[in-house]
Amino acid sequence: MVFAYNIDKKTIPNFMKYVLGGTAGMMATVIVQPLDLVKTRMQIAAGAAGAKEYSSSFDCIRKVLQAEGVLAFYNGLSAGLLRQATYTTARMGVYQMEVEAYRNKYNESPRVLGSMIMGIIAGACGALVGNPSEVALIRMMADNRLPESQRRNYKNAADAMVRIVREEGLFTLWRGCLPTAGRAMVTNMAQLASYSQFKGAFRQYIDEGLLLHICASVCSGLLTTVASMPLDMAKTRIQQMKVIDGKPEYSGAIDVILKVTRNEGFFSLWKGFTPYLARIAPHTVFAFVFLEQLNNAYYKYILGEENRGSGL
């Protein structure tokens, strides 16, 4: 679906696209952080020999509450916010710049294939920038489930990254970068490209507003979840793994997928699907709504004109 655009001279500066995109992502993360923790705990939980640590997402929530308390759901929040300040800032900024460049050149919104390619590029850029905070986030959220003797006990995201560099080397911050980039490319291709298409399809039945954003983002979130979860599982396992006697537990993303399929079953690649979906859909809704409102405020109070849209 293609929409024509009248381009005027007043636009949001490129650096502000990054700032607003990252801010919207951070605001959404504060809301969905508990669901991200549940998803991560389920993905790293052992499932071999029929001894599952968690029987379901609700069982995971119950056990975390009983053993660690309510505040445990916000373990790793500093790393989660740092991830949004890096990963989401990069991907949203790059994508908005790509879309605006396309509209300036062709005076219309990108077609589906163009949006998919733009999403892939934005996802790869975001993954490269955000991987260090991703490693810190995964480790901090998983720490409390380890025996006390094996816990890393990072104080915050900055402490985690400093200690990782000091104890394991600089490039450990980019451990799992390939599956992270693969997941980010798939996620952004599906999420960013499909969101505007779903909005366009639903707009003939639903007026512009929150309900339209929710419907479009839930559909986009479901598609994104199914496509990206195996790579997300591989990324999580690689970033959490320990190196014992100089030998890492996994050699790469394919090795993770093969071992999980062989030892835990094919559908274990989608372990944590419910909290992942429950995280993706609200995060998409909140991030897009916040971004549209932030853009709206910038156009109104800084540029002195009505908003032309979020750029997504």
pTM over 0.85: no
Contact 190, 262 (CB under 8 A): no
Using left for φ > 0, alpha for ψ between -120 and 50, and beta otherwise, residue 12 falls in beta
Contact 238, 250 (CB under 8 A): yes
Q: Could you tell me the two tokens for 293?
A: 């409102």
pLDDT in tens, 193-248: 888 778 878 988 988 777 887 788 778 878 888 888 888 888 778 877 777 777 88
Task: Give me the residue label for tokens 């994508």.
Answer: 95
pLDDT in tens, 54-83: 888 889 899 999 989 999 899 888 888 988
Contacts of 244 (CB under 8 A, 6+ apart): none
pLDDT at 117: 93
Contact 32, 26 (CB under 8 A): no
Mean pLDDT, range 139-155, rounded to an integer: 83
Q: How many CB atoms lie within 10 A of CB 255?
A: 15
CATH: 3.40.1280.10, 1.20.120.160, 1.50.40.10, 1.20.120.450. Which one for 14-302? 1.50.40.10
CB-based contacts of 164-171 (< 8 A; 24+ apart in sequence): 164/135, 164/136, 168/243
SS3 163: helix
Q: What is the 3-state secondary structure (H, E, C) of 297-308?
A: HHHHHHCCCCCC
Give the domain ranges of the chain.
Answer: 14-302
Contact 253, 240 (CB under 8 A): no
pLDDT in tens, 123-146: 999 999 999 988 888 888 878 777
